[in-house]
Amino acid sequence: MIGPRQVGKTTLAQDIAEGTDALYLDLESRADRDKLADPALFLSAYEDRLVILDEIHRVPEVFQELRGLIDTGRRKGKRTGRFLILGSASMDLLRQSGESLAGRIEYVALNPFDVLEAAPDGDALRRLWVRGGFPDSFLATSDADSFAFRQNFVRTYLERDVPQFGRRVPAETLERLWTMLAHNQGGLLNASRLASGLSITAPTVTSYIDLLVDLLLVRRLTPFHANVGKRLTKSPKVYVRDSGLVHALLGLEDYNDLAGHPVVGPSWEGFVIETLLAVAPPRTRASFYRTAAGAEIDLLLEMPGKGGLWAIEIKHGLSAKPTKGFHNARDDLNPDCAFVVSVGEERYPIAHAVEAIGLRAMADLIAAQ
């Protein structure tokens, strides 16, 4: 199991180890890495125990050895649950693990906290939005401590972690790009404009964004394509995935700072999108819809099976009145259901086949599909 690098993951793995008599190896530690100088010899001694390998990207060569150990265990009837692998979401690492352990591994994304896990009421939801879902940020004793944690996370991630993934990217340039994306949260990707501001080429910008997407720090939301006889937007929209990191990159420490900043609406939009995609059923396809004439839907969810097409408008504010562009887009696509998600908590009809709904209720509805 490989998930994105997430603060709090190591503590979780240690808790699992203590509760299950598992062997825990932190591969950031030289002492634990040295134990795997001969992985087959060392790990074969623990075939009756769960072995947790944390920060696996530090020793990716272990994948080759795991294949033989897993196959040997299968012949003895030990088919599942032998190794819990935690580490980078780097696509190179995922590809290597897939080639080495095809048919022997399941991938599980360790997302930050979402609304259903950490926001039972309005105050907690606002705190989750402002601080983001990384455990140490959300659970900090004060907004100042949370903000300091996220600023340090950005700095250490760029200076220490990214180089470990084999990409030699100037940390200062990548931070400036990340900050520019936060300023343009939810905007259409324009690599040439970003490149001009960074004094690099558009292909280089694209490769840097690819890296941030691979590391699950940035989301590219693709446009919905339909044969509706309209000129459709072809560029993806780009979001910094964790709202707390958006605010840290822009120097917004608490809700008062955020409420008066132009990013407040786009930040809420990104937060809603990440929340709903975190709870959506597997194989759900997400996109947005926009035409040159101004018809627009913030989020389209193509539900698996017979779930149909869901249209979701996202509004920051208590008013849930959708725009004319939303109604025009509904006429174009004829979705199976339509919702307007606002910061309020009430659910009520606002137009034919359109409901206003709060974020938590919307997440519950999607998770139940």
pLDDT at 343 over 70: yes
Tell me: the pLDDT tens digits for 180-190? 999 999 999 99
301 within some domain = yes
Tell me: the pLDDT tens digits for 243-253? 999 999 999 99
Instruction: Work out how many domains the chain is built from and give that number.
Output: 2
**pLDDT (0 to 100) of residue 3:** 41
106 within some domain = no
Tell me: the pLDDT tens digits for 5-28? 344 445 555 555 555 678 999 988
Task: Give percent of the chain with pLDDT exceeding 90.
Answer: 54
278 plus 150 within the same structural domain: yes
Residue 95: pLDDT band with limits 50, 70, 90: low
Residue 4: pLDDT band with limits 50, 70, 90: very low
- Choosing from 50, 74, 100, the residue where a domain stops is 100
49 plus 125 within the same structural domain: no
234 plus 317 within the same structural domain: yes
Cα 61 from Cα 57, distance rounded (Å):
9
- Choosing from 60, 77, 100, the residue where a domain stops is 100
Q: Which of 293, 291, 292, 312 is nearest to 301 (CA)?
A: 312
281 plus 329 within the same structural domain: yes
**pLDDT (0 to 100) of residue 94:** 59
CA angle 257/263/266 to nearest 5° reads 135
300 plus 363 within the same structural domain: yes
Tell me: the pLDDT tens digits for 264-282? 999 999 999 999 999 999 9
The neighbour count for residue 312, using CB atoms within 10 Å, is 24
**pLDDT (0 to 100) of residue 283:** 92
Q: Indicate the range of 158-167, 179-188, 350-359 predicted with least confidence.
A: 158-167
pTM (predicted TM-score): 0.85
Residue 81: pLDDT band with limits 50, 70, 90: confident
pLDDT at 204 over 70: yes
107 within some domain = no
211 plus 265 within the same structural domain: yes
217 plus 350 within the same structural domain: yes
Q: Residue type for 147, please?
A: F
Tell me: the pLDDT tens digits for 102-121? 667 777 777 889 999 887 88
Mean pLDDT computed over every residue of the chain: 86
287 within some domain = yes
The answer to whether 135 and 7 have CB atoms below 8 angstroms apart is yes
**pLDDT (0 to 100) of residue 138:** 95
Q: What's the domain range around 264? A: 115-367
Task: Give percent of the chain with pLDDT exceeding 70.
Answer: 88
Tell me: the pLDDT tens digits for 225-261? 877 667 888 999 999 999 999 999 999 999 999 999 9
73 plus 147 within the same structural domain: no
- Please give the structure tokens belonging to residue 330: 């509904």
Q: What is the mean pLDDT of residues 43-55?
A: 87
**pLDDT (0 to 100) of residue 236:** 95
Element (H, E) at 83: strand 83-85
**pLDDT (0 to 100) of residue 2:** 38
Residue 86: pLDDT band with limits 50, 70, 90: confident
pLDDT at 318 over 80: no
2 within some domain = no
128 within some domain = yes
- Please give the structure tokens belonging to residue 247: 């605010």
**pLDDT (0 to 100) of residue 1:** 38
Q: What is the mean pLDDT of residues 208-223?
A: 91
**pLDDT (0 to 100) of residue 273:** 97
15 CB-near residues (< 8 Å, 6+ apart): none
185 plus 295 within the same structural domain: yes
**pLDDT (0 to 100) of residue 209:** 93
Q: What is the mean pLDDT of residues 73-84?
A: 79
241 plus 305 within the same structural domain: yes
- Choosing from 100, 131, 147, the residue where a domain stops is 100
109 within some domain = no
326 plus 216 within the same structural domain: yes
331 within some domain = yes
What is the CA 31 to chain-centroid distance, rounded? 32
245 plus 304 within the same structural domain: yes
